[in-house]
């Protein structure tokens, strides 16, 4: 039976060296756990003479191909198969580099072709509708928080995870810059939008002090910038519930936690922003990730000519 200890060591290394989020680590754990279960139960043996390996060093390319075929037969999406294959490849690269296996059986194995879906964005008028719902609502501490949070997201293009991970000290003294620590790297982003600066100031002066109370608050809660109604650090799930409520009021159906980030990036490029500058602002490791936003404008232009 294949041991799961190497998988946990691999995940611990990802978290320590690359700062992967809990959501990403959970996805890796699920994908590798499914692969290990497949190997251990011999589900692929019906198509060949493969027998369940007793250790990771016995896993050859044939086992991995059998697993990918198993996924395809069960009609897994190409994007899901590609993600699982990438997780297995990273795992074996780790095992190889640590001398736990002699070679990487996934190396040079072609990934399935995936047509990457373009990020969903909303235009400036739709963003205004969303923000309008926060400004017509009574100025409670929670509403002040929501205004500051959404304005900051749209003004900087932060990821949702980065936003809820912010501490008060990460906001510059004048409220014109924010420092983000994400995936083991630190970057600074300027805040030039006046409405965002004012929303942050109002929240820090009037909103947050009235929320920052309650039993069971930790030292992390004391540092956190955005708090829930119990005075604890707001979670990704909490953010999503807030966004969905305002989106419903604004009549915006197709919206996701990263919609404001995607919309920020698309608007920046439309306004003439340099692709490499935008890459730094968004914190993308590869320029190809940023270039996806250029395809959004190209697609809109193509539709406009029809």
Full pLDDT tens readout for the chain, 306 residues: 677 899 999 999 988 877 777 888 899 999 999 999 998 876 544 445 578 888 899 998 888 888 988 888 888 887 888 889 889 999 999 999 988 888 888 887 776 655 556 788 899 999 999 999 999 999 999 999 999 999 999 999 999 999 999 999 999 988 899 999 887 789 999 999 999 999 999 999 999 999 998 777 899 999 999 999 999 999 999 999 999 999 999 999 888 888 999 999 999 988 889 999 999 999 988 888 888 888 776 665 544 444
Note whether 263 and 122 are within 8 A (CB).
yes
Query: What are residue 224's DSSP bridge partners?
Result: 167
What pLDDT was estimated at residue 305? 45
In degrees, rounded to 5, the angle at the alpha carbon of residue 232 between the alpha carbons of residues 25 and 211 is: 150
Q: Domain 5-97, what fold?
A: DNA polymerase; domain 1 (1.10.150)
Read off φ and ψ for residue 256, nearest 5 degrees: -130, 170
What pLDDT was estimated at residue 31? 94
Note whether 294 and 269 are within 8 A (CB).
yes
SS3 track for 171-211: ECCCCCEEEEEECCEEEEEECCCHHHHHHHHHHHHHHHHHH
Enumerate the CATH 1.10.443.10 domain ranges in the chain, comma separated.
124-305
What pLDDT was estimated at residue 221? 94
DSSP secondary structure of the chain: ---SHHHHHHHHHHHHHH---HHHHHHHHHHHHHHHHHHHHTTTGGGSS----SSGGG--HHHHHHHHHHHHHTT--HHHHHHHHHHHHHHHHHHHHTTSSSS-TTTTPPPPP--PPPPP---HHHHHHHHHHHHSS---HHHHHHHHHHHHHHHH---HHHHHT-BGGGB-TTSSEEEEEETTEEEEEE---HHHHHHHHHIIIIIHHHHS--TT--HHHHHBSSB-TTSSBPPHHHHHHHHHHHHHHHT--S--TTHHHHHHHHHHHHTT--HHHHHHHHT-SSHHHHHHHHHHHHHHHHHHH-
Closest CA to 227 of 288, 296, 142, 300: 142
What pLDDT was estimated at residue 18? 75
Enumerate the CATH 1.10.150 domain ranges in the chain, comma separated.
5-97
Closest CA to 170 of 154, 101, 156: 156
Q: How many CB atoms lie within 10 A of CB 286?
A: 8
CATH H-level superfamily of 124-305: Intergrase catalytic core (1.10.443.10)
Note whether 167 and 224 are within 8 A (CB).
yes
């Amino acid at each position: 039976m294949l041991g799961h200890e190497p998988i946990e060591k691999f995940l611990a290394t990802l978290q320590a060296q690359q700062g992967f989020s809990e959501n990403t680590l959970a996805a890796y754990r699920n994908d590798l756990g499914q692969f290990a279960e497949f190997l251990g139960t011999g589900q692929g043996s019906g198509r060949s003479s493969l027998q369940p390996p007793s250790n990771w060093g016995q896993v050859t390319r044939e086992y991995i191909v059998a697993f990918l075929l198993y996924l395809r037969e069960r009609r897994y999406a190409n994007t899901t198969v590609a993600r699982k294959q990438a997780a297995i490849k990273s795992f074996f690269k780790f095992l190889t580099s640590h001398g736990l296996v002699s070679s990487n059986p996934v190396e040079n194995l072609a990934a399935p072709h995936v047509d990457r879906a373009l990020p969903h964005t909303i235009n400036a008028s739709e963003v205004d509708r969303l923000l309008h719902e926060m400004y017509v609502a009574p100025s409670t501490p929670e509403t002040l928080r929501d205004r500051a949070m959404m304005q900051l997201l749209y003004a900087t293009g932060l990821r949702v995870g980065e936003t809820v991970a912010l501490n008060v000290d990460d906001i510059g003294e004048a409220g014109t810059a924010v420092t983000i620590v994400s995936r083991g790297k630190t970057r600074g982003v300027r805040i030039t939008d006046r409405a965002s600066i004012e929303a942050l100031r109002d929240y820090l002066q009037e909103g947050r002090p009235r929320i920052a109370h309650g039993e069971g608050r930790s030292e992390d809660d004391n540092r956190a910038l955005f708090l829930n109604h119990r005075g604890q650090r707001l979670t990704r799930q909490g953010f999503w519930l807030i966004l969905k409520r305002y989106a419903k009021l604004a009549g915006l159906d197709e919206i996701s936690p990263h919609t404001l980030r995607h919309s920020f990036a698309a608007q920046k490029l439309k306004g003439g922003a340099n692709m490499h500058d935008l890459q730094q602002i968004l914190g993308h490791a590869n320029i190809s990730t940023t270039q996806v936003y250029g395809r959004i404008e190209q697609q809109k232009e193509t539709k406009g000519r029809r």
